Structure 1
Amino acid sequence: MAEQQTAAASGSRKKWYQAVPDPMVLIFIILVATYFLTFIIPAGEFERVTQDGRTVVVPGSFAYLENVANIPLFNIFVAIPEGLISASRYLFIVFIAGGLFHILQKTGALENAIGVAVNRVGVERRNMIIVVGTFIYGFFGVAVGFENNIALVPIAVLIASAIGCSSLVGTAMAVGGIGIGFALSPINPYTVGVAQGIAELPTFSGAWLRTLLVLSSLALLSLYICKRVVKMEFEEPDNAEALSKPLSEYRLTKRNILTMVVFVGGLIAMLIGVFTRGWYINEIAGTFLLLAIIIGALNGLSANGIVKQMMEGAASVTAGALVIGVAASIQVILEQAVIIDTIVNSLSALIDGIPSIFSAIMASVVQGIINLFIPSGSGQALVTMPILIPVADLVGMSRQLMITAFQVGDGLTNLIVPTSGGTLAMLALGRVSYAQWLKAILPFMVLVYGLSWIGLVIGHLVGY
C-alpha cells in the first residue's frame, strides 16, 4: 500500500516543463526582476558615432552616468503597452498571417496540395519528409532571414499532420530549421554583413566554416526531430491545424491549383522584394494581406466573408501575439534605466584574460546573454562588435572567428529566449506553447552548442 502511495505521489509530481508558468506570467516575472536590477546595475553609456549611415559604438568610451532617476514602480505596467507598441509589426504579421492561413484552410487548397504531395511521396517515408522539410526551412533561414519567414510555419504544421505527427514536429521543423539557418548563415546580412563591415573584413568572407556549421547543425536537427520529437507526448490544442480526411482521398481541383499558384506567386514576389527592395516585416505583412483578399475572392468569398475569416484566423493566434508585445516591455525598462551598455561592457570584460583557444567559446556565451537584452541581431552587432573586435585582437583571436562566435551566441539563443519576438510569433502560429517548446528544444540546444563550440575551437586551431 505504501509503495502504491509512493508511486502515485511520484506520478502526480509535475515534471519541470509542466511547472513552467504561462508565457505571460514568465515574462512578467522577468520584467519585474529586470525592474529591480535597475536599482543594482548603474546607468552607463558608450559614445556613438555615425559611419556609413550606421550608428556604432566608440570602443573604450564607456562611462557611468550620474543623476539618472530611478524608474517608478508604476512604469512596470506602463512598459507593457509601450512594449506592445514597439513590437506592433510582429503582432500585425502574426494576425495577418493567421488570417491568411485560416482562409487557405477554409478553401481546402493548401490542405489538398499537401495531402496529394505526401500521398505521392508515401507516408512511410516520414523521416525523409522531415529531413527535406527541415533543410528547406533551413535554406529559407540562410537566404531570407528569421522574422521574414514567420508566416510559413503553418505549412510545416500541416505537413507534420499529413505524416501522422503532432504540430510540435512541424513547428520544430520550421522554427528550428529557420532558426539554425539564420543563426549560422554564411550570408546573413543582418549579422555577418554588419559585423564584417565593422571589423573591416570583406563581406561574407570566411563562409566555409559557417557553411559547415549550418549544414551539420541542420543534419543534427533533422536527426533529433526524427529520433526524439516525433516520439514526444504532445497534447494538440483544439485549434491545431490537422488534415481532415485520409491521404488517399485528397484531390486538387482547378480552383485549388489556381489558389496555390496565386499563393506561391505571392511568396515569390515576397522573396524578390526582400532581396531586391529591402522588404521587411511590414511589406511582408502587406503582401500576405493582399494574398488573403485575392485568394478569398477567388474562392467566392464576399468582402464581408473575407473579413470574417480574417478575424477568425487572427483571433486564434491572439494569445501568442500578445506575448510578443509583453516580452518587448523588458527592453523598454532596460532602455529607460540606461543599463544596457553597462551590461554589455561588463560581459565583454569576461573574454579578456582567458586562454585564446577558449576565448571564442566564451565570446559566444557572452553574446548569448546579451541577446536576452538586445534581441535584434543587427542591433547587437552594432553595439558589441566595436567593443569585441579590439578584444579579439588583444587575446589573439582572429576577427573572423569573433564574428562567427557572435553568430553562434546571438543566433542560437533566438530559439529559446523569451524576448525573441520572431520566435514567439512562430510558436503562436504553430500552436505550441513556450513551455512545450522548451521541453522539446532544450536538449537539442545542448547538442548544437557543443557542435558549434567544437567548430569554433577547430577554427582557432586552423587559423580561421
Structure 2
Amino acid sequence: MNESLNPTLPVGSVDTPKRQAKHHQVEHRQLNPAIILLVIVFLAMFMTYVVTSGEYQRKGILVVPGSYQTLEKDASPAQLWSTAERKPEDKAARPVSLTEAFLAIPQGIEKSVGLIFMVLFIGGMLGILSRTGTITAGLERLLGATKGNVYVLVPCLMLAFSAGSTFMGMAKEYIVIVPLMVALANRMGLPNIVGLALVVVPLKIGYLASVTSPVALSVAQPIVGLPVFSGMGMRLLAYVILLIVGTGFMFLLLRRYGFNRAVAAQFEGGRLTVRQALNLLLLGAGIGFLIYASNTWHWHYPALSAYYLVLGMLFAAVAGLRPSDAANAFIEGMQKVLIAGVMIGLATAVQIILATGDVLDSIVNWLAQLIGSHGPFVSALGMFFSQLLLELLIPSTSGQAAVTMPIFGPLAQLSGVTPQTTVYAFLLGHGLTNMISPTSSGLLVLLAAAQVGWGQWARMILPLMLVFSVIAIALLMLAVLIGY
C-alpha cells in the first residue's frame, strides 16, 4: 500500500520521514519561478534590440487595420548602457537599456499594486479563517458526507468551477477557493498541486470555451461585427468535450499520487461548533455576494481588497478570536502569498519593456503577414498559433482582443474564414497558453495561493495542454469545414 496513505496513520497524514525527505529534494531541484520570470524580463529586453520597432495607429484601445508603420531605431549595443531620458515628442524608437529593464520591475509592481494588495488581503483573510479551525471542520463534514469518494466529489467540483468561468467569466473569485481545495486535497493525503488542479483545470476549461463569458466575448465579437454571445453552439461543444477530458485527467492525477479509496472511506466527519457553522455560512454568503457585487457593480481591486478585509474581521469576531490573535493570523496569511507580489511585478515588467521598445505591434504585424491568404484552413491554423504565442506577450484577454481582432478579422475574411471562426481561433489559442503562461498574473496568483511553483505546475499540466491542443485544432478545422 502507498506509504502516504497507510491506514495505520491518522487519516490525511502524509508527513512520513521518507515522504518529507523526498518533498525537500523536489523543492531543492525546482527553479524558483521568480528566476524564470527574471530571465523572461531580460529576454524581452533582448527582443527590443533584434525585433524591428513599429506601431499601429489606434482609436482608443483598438488598432486601426493597415496603419502599421516601422520606426527608426538605433539598436547598437551602446544603447544597452544608455541613461538618456525618453521624451513623448521623440519620433525615433530606442531599445530598452539595462537600467530601464531593472526599473521596469518596480514599475511593474507599482502598476499592479491594486492586484497585489488584493492578493495579500485574501491571504490575510484566509489566515484568520484557518486559525478559527473552520476550514478543517468543514472539510471533515464534506468528506464524511461523501465518504471521501472522489468519483463523486471531483466531477461535481469540476462542473461547478468550470460553469462559473465559462458562463459568467469568473476568475479572480476563485483565488479564495484555491486554499480550500488545497486543504481538501491535503486532508485526503494528496499534495497541494492536486488541490490547485481541482480549481485551475476547470477554470481554464471554462476560459477556453467561453460559452457566454462576457470577459472575452464582449470585446472580441463586436470588433468583427458579431452580436455578443452569438455562435454559442461550437463553444458549447468545446466546453463539453474539454470538461469530459479534463475530468478524466483529474482521475489519472489522483491515481498517480496514490489516492486510495479504502482509506478515503474511513472519513466519518465530525460535529461543527456553533461558531464554525456560522463562519461556514458566512463564507458561503460572502462568496455569493462577491459574485453578485463583481458582476453588478464591477468592483475593482481596492473595493475587493476592502471586502476581503471586512470578511476577515467578521470571521475573527464570529470565532471569538482576540484582536491580537486575529492580527497575527492575518499577517501570517499575508506572508504565505507575499511571493505573488514579486511574481506579478515581474510579469508586468515584461509588458512594460515590450511597450517601451515599440516591438509588440511589430510582432503582431509579422504574425498577420504569416497568416496571409493561404486558404481558410491554413489561415485559421495561423490565427490559432498566433494567438497562442501572443498570450505570452499580451496576457490580458481584452487587451489581446483589442490588438489582434481588428487585424486578423479582415485578413481572415479575405482567406474565407468567417468572423465566428476568427473569434473561435482567438478563444482557443489564447485560452490554451493561459493554462501555463509564466507571464499571466492570474495564473501566478493562483499558484501563489496554493504555494505551488510554476515549474512543478508546468510539468504536470503540459500533457493535458497538448491533448487540449489537438482537440482545439480538430474543433477549429470542423468550424472551417461547416462554415461556422
Number of the residue aligned with 1:309 = 329
Whole-angstrom CA distance in 1 between matches of 2:442 and 2:158: 18
- Is residue 2:153 matched to residue 1:138? no
2:298 matched residue in structure 1: 278
Q: Quick check: 2:109–2:348 contact (8 Å CA) kept in 1?
A: yes
8 A Cα contact 1:168 1:229, kept in partner = no
TM-score normalised by length of structure 2: 0.85
- In 2: Cα distance, 1:79 partner to 1:22 partner: 20
- Post-superposition Cα deviations, 1:13-65, rounded to whole Å, max 9, x if no partner, equal xx999966321111111111111111111221111114xxxx21110001112
**Count of equivalent residues:** 434
Whether 1:152 aligns to 2:177 is yes
Asked if 1:396 is matched to 2:416, the reply is yes
Aligned partner of 1:327 among 344, 347, 361: 347
Match of 1:224 among 249, 260, 281: 249
Q: Kindly, what percent of the aligned residue pairs are identical? A: 30
> Once superposed, which parts of structure 1, at least 4 consecutive aligned residues long, lie more than 4 Å away?
15-20
2:153 alignment partner in structure 1: 129
Amino acid at match of 1:126: V
Asked whether 1:341 is paired with 2:347, we answer no
Tell me if 1:47 matches 2:67. Answer: no
- Name the counterpart of 2:453: 433
- Structure 2 stretches lacking a partner, 5+ long: 1-24, 73-91, 260-265
User: Do the aligned partners of residues 280 and 206 (structure 1) sit closer, same or farther apart at CA in structure 2, a change above 3 Å counting?
Assistant: farther
Distance 1:210 1:103 in 2: 40
Q: Is 2:46 the partner of 1:36? A: yes
Distance 1:328 1:65 in 2: 24
Which residue type is aligned with residue 243 of structure 2?
L
Measure the CA separation in 2 of the matches of 1:249 and 1:17: 33
Q: Deviations 1:404-434 (Å, cap 9, x if unpaired)?
A: 1101111221111110001010011111111
Indicate conservation of the 8 Å contact 1:100/1:313, yes or no.
yes
CA shift for structure 1 position 310: 0.9
Deviation at 1:102, TM superposition (A): 1.5
Q: Is structure 2 residue 364 aligned with structure 1 residue 360?
A: no
Distance change >3 Å, CA 208–CA 257, structure 1 → 2:
same
Alpha-carbon separation, structure 2, partners of 1:362 and 1:250: 56
1:94-105 to structure 2, matched below 5 A, reads: 94-105=119-130
SS at match of 1:203: coil
The answer on whether the counterparts of 1:48 and 1:56 sit within 8 Å (CA) in structure 2 is yes
| 1:373 Cα deviation from its structure 2 partner | 0.8
**Which of 176, 180, 199 is the equivalent residue of 2:224?**
199
**Structure 2: distance between partners of 1:417 and 1:391:** 27
Once residues 139 and 323 of structure 1 are traced to their aligned partners in structure 2, the CA distance between those partners, rounded to angstroms, is: 28
Matches within 5 A, 1:362-377: 362-377=382-397
Confirm or deny that 1:56 pairs with 2:39: no
* Of 66, 76, 90, the match for 2:115: 90
Query: 1:232, CA displacement in angstroms?
Result: 4.2
| 1:162 to partner: Cα distance | 3.2
Preserved CA contact (<8 Å) 2:144 2:269: no
Give deviations 1:141-174, integer Å, cap 9, x for gaps.
2224323422221121122223332221111110
Partners in 2 of 1:296 and 1:149 — Cα distance?
A: 22
Q: What is aligned with 2:35? A: 25
CA distance 1:116–1:363, shift in 2 (3 Å): same
1:65-80 → structure 2 map (5 Å cutoff)? 65-66=71-72, 67-80=92-105
Please list every run of 5 or more consecutive structure 1 residues that lacks an aligned counterpart in the other structure: 1-14, 235-245
- The letter for the 2-side match of 1:133 is L
Is 1:300–2:324 an aligned residue pair? no
